[in-house]
A = this chain, B = another copy of it.
Amino acid sequence: MSLKNAFYAQSGGVTSVINASACGVIETCRKNADRIGNVFAGRNGIIGALTEELIDTSRESDADIAALMKTPSGAFGSCRFKLKSLEENRREYERLIEVFKAHDIGYFFYNGGGDSADTCYKVSQLSETMGFPVQAIHIPKTVDNDLPVTDVCPGFSSVAKYIAVSALEASFDVSSMARTSTKVFILEVMGRHAGWIAAAGGLIEDYGIPVLLLFPEVDFDHDRFIGALKARVDEFGYCTVVVSEGARNADGSFLAEQGTRDAFGHAQLGGVAPVVANMVKQALGYKFHWAVADYLQRAARHIASATDVEQAYALGKSSVEMALAGKNAIMPTIDRLSNNPYRWEIGSTDLANVANVEKTMPLDFISADGLGITDKCRDYLYPLIQGEAYPDYDERGMPRYVVLKNELADKKLGDFEL
């Protein structure tokens, strides 16, 4: 009996450690070469499965696969492409199974967030129905940290470390100049629906730094914010503000959608940081600066959390081990055992518990005034940013990030229109 092959795909926004999960999958498959065949990877994620663009990872050296541990982004390409529901587009799911059948793929490892957990679940169900059962395992990944059951999602912890360190450094800068220069520094961070990333900025309070956080979970209250800001500047001479891109007004509208227009009347495509900066300027007249971290935060492999890298790899590895143990339609999870010392282990949950469930910050992680974090939140966050896992640098001073060959396996089917 020939061995079944595996298919691995990256989904949605990439992170600085998603390739560590890929590394965990591929290395563990290679170590079990007597039980599992080749690993194909989807070129640009699930799209590669639909178009039968399957990257043959067997053509990559062990060294290059190992280098994925230290390379940010999605090495095989990722995509924002949500399969419609089975009812709306059965054709896409059937094509997936058809491609899996043509390439003798018995294991589907899908590395992503909520949408991909849902897809993964459906593939598992449908493949059964179609008489070509595929074991589908979802590997969690999202900087938004919004998947349920698992204590944390790989990708988030490294962003948290980046934001905490960057906010700290910029606050030191502002503190030393505030006498004659900038008094308010505003840092915009990711988080459309959940304030996990902004919360990490709150850790700098432990250095005695005045910092205010604006979460999507808390209705923005202009007067409360301005009052708190003025109090901080009066006391410390300066203040740092960390604002989620998804910070919103009581009516649900985003702060960033303030109807700003350019000279030609076009809607200004701006971030929330300049909006908050203008607000501060108009209410208090303070000199300010603002930064928008955008992709820099989720790609910052140079300051990744060692804990995050280790967990991302472990989840990739465990997903293969679970598949080999006959599991199906599950997601391996990070289960926290204790905060101090930090201990964790790999668990798992049925995909039915994950698909279409979004986890926001617990309300007891947010301080009473809505502008900071609680000790409970600190206890949650610190373990996640423990340890530094630096990439290697070449003699010129630049990181050694690997670019794979990404050669495609021969096609066996006809074309498919997306």
Contacts and interface: CB of A to CB of B under 8 A. Distances in A.
A268 B266 contact: no
Nearest to A291: B294
Contacts of A206: 398
A168 to B, nearest CB: 7
Contacts of A382: 396-397
A285 interface: no
A298 interface: yes
B269 A282 contact: no
B77 A169 contact: no
A91 to B, nearest CB: 19
A271 to B, nearest CB: 7
Interface in A47-88: 47, 71-81
Interface residues of A, number: 89
A14 B173 contact: yes
Given A180-B79, A258-B262, A169 B302 contact: yes
Contacts of A262: 258-261, 268, 275, 278
Q: Which 8 A-B pairs have the closest CB atoms?
A: A73-B172, A291-B294, A74-B176, A385-B397, A169-B299, A259-B263, A173-B299, A170-B295
12 contacts: A14-B173, A73-B169, A74-B176, A79-B179, A172-B401, A173-B295, A174-B295, A207-B403, A261-B261, A266-B278, A273-B292, A290-B294
Interface of A: 10, 13-14, 16, 44, 47, 71-81, 161, 164-166, 168-170, 172-177, 179-182, 185, 187, 203, 206-208, 258-263, 266, 268-271, 273-275, 277-278, 281-282, 289-296, 298-303, 305, 307, 382, 384-388, 390, 393, 395-399, 401, 403
